Amino acid sequence: GAVVSQHPSWVICKSGTSVKIECRSLDFQATTMFWYRQFPKQSLMLMATSNEGSKATYEQGVEKDKFLINHASLTLSTLTVTSAHPEDSSFYICSARDTRLRTSGIRSYEQYFGPGTRLTVT
Amino acid sequence: SQQGEEDPQALSIQEGENATMNCSYKTSINNLQWYRQNSGRGLVHLILIRSNEREKHSGRLRVTLDTSKKSSSLLITASRAADTASYFCATVNAGNNRKLIWGLGTSLAVNP
């Protein structure tokens, strides 16, 4: 299997506080994880690529000091929204890339998604 | 960045009817994937079709890929109310670091 969990599933915080979201690959190791945000009735927007043991790669327009990413182990990446504001309210989704060799000998590079975290900043 | 476009943006059908959604993309791809998302929930991977494949089936799902037109379609046959969800296509570009490039999605409502 390939299960990815996120914690918390939802969080409400006050403006100016920081919030940490965890993304875990439960039954496989993931050297690469991705963080997305999604506004209501819109598609996913890639925020950053999280690489185990190195700095994350942020997409254009995403503030790295605002959205801190740490990928300290092969099964855990965290996204910290610092000094959150109401405009940061969104649905945050992570995915983990599974690079295990298949029985075919080919790596699928398939991404498995977490269930998402609903952040509401008041 | 978003490069894919899906049409229609919204689709409403009766239970039992077929639903067809289309996706277009702009660059050469390694593969194209379809996902389903129920309202406010995570994504469910439906099917992956590689660039050298033209058609793929999985249960009531049928996906086609036309690389010459840079387009794909997802057909759901004999739809059920439980199929109500948003459907997204995502491509992995050839030579990319295998990031998923997402379409804008089609919102499907299947009425009982």
State the virtual CA torsion across A61, A66, A71, A77 in degrees, nearest 10.
-90
- Nearest by CB to residue B104, choosing from A43, A60, A113, is A43
The reply to whether A78 touches chain B by the CB within 8 Å rule is no
pLDDT digits (tens, 9 = 90+) for B25-68: 988 898 999 999 998 888 999 999 999 999 999 999 999 999 99
Mutation choice for A interface testing from B5, B21, B99, B106 by most A CBs within 10 A:
B99
pLDDT digits (tens, 9 = 90+) for B7-16: 788 999 999 9
Residue type, B56: K
Confidence category of residue B1, pLDDT binned at 50, 70, 90: very low
Q: Is the separation of the CB atoms in A61 and A47 below 8 Å?
A: no
3-state secondary structure of B72: strand
Main-chain phi, psi angles of B88, to 5 degrees = -120, 140
The reply to whether A73 touches chain B by the CB within 8 Å rule is no
